[in-house]
Structure 1
C-alpha cells in the first residue's frame, strides 16, 4: 500500500470504526504498513477529539444516540417500541420496578396495560407524567436536581431514594454496551444513578437498540454480566451481533 499521510490514516480508522464499530491496532499496523506506535498515536488523537473510544489494543465507536432527551425521543422510535412490547412480558402484578430516565423505559411506561398493578420508582419526569393517569400503577418519584438535557433527577437525594428500595426489576435504558468494556454512558451523574439502581434490584433488564451495541463512552456503570436479561430490537438476521453477550450467560430476547 502507498504510504498515507496522518490525515488519510485517521480517516481510514474512522471509516472502519463507522463500518464495523471497532479497530485493532495490530491489524491496522499491518494494513497501513506503519508501526503500532503510530496507530496508537492516531487513535489517541482521534479519541481526544471525541471521535472514538480508545481501548486496550485498539478502539471502538461511540454511541450514535443524541444527547438531549427531546432528540432521543424521536430517534429509532420503532426499535424502542419493539423493545417495550417484549419488556411487558417480564411484568406481573405486585412488583416494584425501577424505571430510569431513558426513552426506552418511557416507551414501556406508555405501553403498560391498564389492568397491570405495579409500583414504579423513577427519576424521570416523562415517565412519571405518562403514568399520572394510569389507574393501577403507583408512582414513587425520586426527587433531586433536574437535568435539563435528560428531564430526570440526580444527586444525593435521588441516590438515597433508590438506595431505600429493593426492587424486583430494574429497567435499564442503555446508552452504550460492549461485551468487554461493559455498560457506559456519556454523563458522570447518569452513571452514578444507574449504578445505584443496578445495585438495589433483584433483576436487571437492559434495554438496547442495535445501534448501541459494541459502542462505549467515558463513564462506566457496570459489567454486562450484571444483566440478567438484554432486550433488543434484533431480528434473526442480526443474531451474530448478540453472540458475545449470550456467551457471557445473559438471556437475550
Structure 2
C-alpha cells in the first residue's frame, strides 16, 4: 500500500471510529509501527489529526486565527449563542469566555437584562460597553492575540475572587476520551480556573468541535454540566457526551 493510500485510510478510520491506535494500524496495513507513527506525524503536521499517546484523534479545525473563525459555521454559532444568552437570568453573575461564539452571545443579550458579565475578553467587554443595564467586569493580564483574551498569573489571581452562577466556555475540541481541549497551554489553565469559580459550566460547541481534539487538555467532559450544540448535530456525536452524564441542549 502506498503512503498516500495509508494516510487516506487512517483519516477514514478516524472519521468512522473517532480514534486510531498505532498498533492496530500497523497490523492492518502490514507495516511497522515506526512507519505508522511517521504517517501520523506527517498528518499531524498538516493539521489533519491530533496525535495522542498510542495513536491519534480527529483534529479540531477551530484553531484558525480569530478573523478566519468568524466566518466558520456562522449560522450554527448564532443559534448556539442565542440559546446560551437565554440562560442568563436577571441578577446573575455570568462568565463569558473569549471566541467567536461568545461575541455572538453578548450581541443576543436583551437590552433590559440586569446582570453582571465577567470576561477576560477585551472585545466582549467593549461589545457590552453600550448595554444600558449590564455590569461588566474585565479581567486583565497578558493578551493572547489568537483568541483576544487575557491569560497569565494576573488573570488567574483576579479569577480566584469570583463566584459566578454560569460560565460559558469556548473550546476547540470535545471528545469522549480526550475531554475538553484548546489550542493554547495558558488558555487551558485560564479555562480551568474559570470553571472552578462557576456553579455551572456551559460549553458552546458547533459541530466542527465535536469528536475532535486539540493539543492542550482543559479537563474531562464532566467539567461541563451542559453542552449546547446545533439542532442538526448527529446523535452519534452527542450520545457519548450524554453517556458521560453531561446534558446536551440543541439550539
Q: When the two structures are superposed, what TM-score results if normalisation uses the length of structure 1?
A: 0.89
- Indicate which of 221, 246, 250 corresponds to 2:246: 250
- Indicate which of 217, 220, 223 corresponds to 2:217: 220
2:234 corresponds to which residue?
238
Residue 150 (1) aligns with residue 147 (2): yes
SS in 1 for 2:211: coil
Ranges in structure 1 where 5+ consecutive residues have no aligned partner: none
1:1-253 → structure 2 map (5 Å cutoff): 4-17=1-14, 21-25=18-22, 28-29=25-26, 31-34=28-31, 38-47=35-44, 50-235=47-232, 238-253=234-249
SS in 2 for 1:113: coil
For the aligned residue pairs, the C-alpha RMSD in angstroms reads 2.2
Cα distance, 1:26 vs structure 2: 5.7
**TM-superposition CA deviations, 1:118-165 (whole Å, max 9, x none):** 100101122111111111110000011222222221111111111110
Q: How many residues align?
A: 249
Q: Distance in 1 between matches of 2:12 and 2:248?
A: 29
Ranges in structure 2 where 5+ consecutive residues have no aligned partner: none
Cα distance, 1:16 vs structure 2: 4.0
**TM-superposition CA deviations, 1:79-135 (whole Å, max 9, x none):** 111101211332101111111112111111000011111100101122111111111
Cα distance, 1:57 vs structure 2: 4.8
Q: Distance in 1 between matches of 2:34 and 2:141?
A: 46
Q: Distance in 2 between matches of 1:69 and 1:45?
A: 25
Do the aligned partners of 2:98 and 2:149 also contact (CA within 8 Å) in 1?
yes
Q: When the two structures are superposed, what TM-score results if normalisation uses the length of structure 2?
A: 0.90
SS in 2 for 1:217: coil
Q: Distance in 1 between matches of 2:116 and 2:132?
A: 12
- 89-98 or 241-250, which deviates more: 89-98
Do the aligned partners of 1:209 and 1:234 also contact (CA within 8 Å) in 2?
no
